[in-house]
């Protein structure tokens, strides 16, 4: 998918610095910048974008470390959380025949990726994610859950999945408020680069 952000994009990380990010408590982020990438500093905590979003498109590039001795959830784990609440898993799941609900590209513990689109560790990969926030009636009751479509390395791996609720690791128990992009520190040396989002209108015109 597109590597170059459109003019309407909110640039979250372009390789320069972490000025668009904070730690979970609002302080300076503990992650580091090296070259054009931002690096998880393991066990220092997640980072969140200062900008918050409702409906949006987000482009993220990530790279898992090579951990040949590690298995399962210990193998290059991180995650991209839409609104800080809904995790698209980042993991080294390269070569797994039938990826499950904990594997790379899964909506963590809710939806497995439709196919395994993973590249090997140390190769840069892309996520292009379309997020539709939950909808509510006038009384504040949720009428539609959040919907997520994920394209990994150009392949559709999550097709308009409607979530039951937040995944483990959500920043809060809200659903109706805008939320930041969150990147997870799961103790592994995962890297990110070229992160941008395009806020989306909640609907188009009702005129023909």
Binding site for Mg ion (CB under 5 A): 77, 79, 89, 184, 186
Closer residue to Mg ion in complex, CB, 77/194: 77
Residue of this chain nearest to Mg ion (CB atom): 79
Q: What residues does 87 pair with on adjacent strands?
A: 81
Q: How far is the CB of 77 from Mg ion (least distance, A)?
A: 5
Closer residue to Mg ion in complex, CB, 56/186: 186
Triad 150, 91, 123: Cα angle to 5°: 85
Find the length of the chain: 208
In contact, 124 and 116? CB cutoff 8 Å: no
Q: How many CA atoms lie within 13 A of 54 on its CB side?
A: 9
Phi/psi of residue 67, each to 5°? -130, 75
Q: How far is the CB of 88 from Mg ion (least distance, A)?
A: 9
Q: How far is the CB of 108 from Mg ion (least distance, A)?
A: 6
Q: How many CA atoms lie within 13 A of 171 on its CB side?
A: 26
Dist. CA 63–CA 65, nearest whole Å = 7
* DSSP structure string for 41-64: -TTS--EEEEEEESSEEEEEEEE-
Q: How far is the CB of 20 from Mg ion (least distance, A)?
A: 21
| Helix (H) or strand (E) segment spanning residue 90 | strand 86-90
Closer residue to Mg ion in complex, CB, 169/178: 169
Closer residue to Mg ion in complex, CB, 10/64: 64
Closer residue to Mg ion in complex, CB, 20/89: 89
Q: How far is the CB of 104 from Mg ion (least distance, A)?
A: 9
């Amino acid at each position: 998918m597109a590597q170059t952000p459109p003019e309407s994009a909110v640039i979250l990380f372009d390789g320069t610095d972490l000025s668009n990010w904070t730690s979970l408590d609002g302080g300076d982020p503990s992650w580091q910048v090296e070259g054009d990438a931002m690096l998880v500093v393991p066990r220092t905590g997640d980072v969140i974008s200062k900008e918050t979003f409702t409906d949006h498109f987000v482009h993220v590039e990530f790279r898992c470390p090579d951990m040949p001795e590690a298995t399962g959830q210990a193998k290059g784990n991180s995650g991209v959380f839409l609104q800080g609440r809904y995790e698209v898993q980042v993991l080294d799941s390269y070569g797994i025949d039938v990826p499950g609900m904990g594997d790379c590209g899964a909506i963590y513990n809710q939806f497995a990726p439709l196919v395994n689109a993973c590249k090997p560790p140390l190769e840069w990969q892309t996520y292009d994610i379309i997020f539709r926030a939950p909808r509510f009636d006038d009384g504040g009751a949720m009428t539609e859950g959040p919907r997520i479509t994920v394209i990994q390395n150009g392949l559709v791996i999550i097709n308009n999945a409607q979530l039951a609720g937040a995944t483990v690791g959500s920043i809060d128990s809200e659903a109706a408020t805008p939320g930041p992009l969150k990147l997870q520190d799961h103790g592994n040396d995962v890297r990110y680069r070229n992160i941008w989002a395009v806020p989306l209108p909640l609907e188009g015109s009702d005129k023909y």
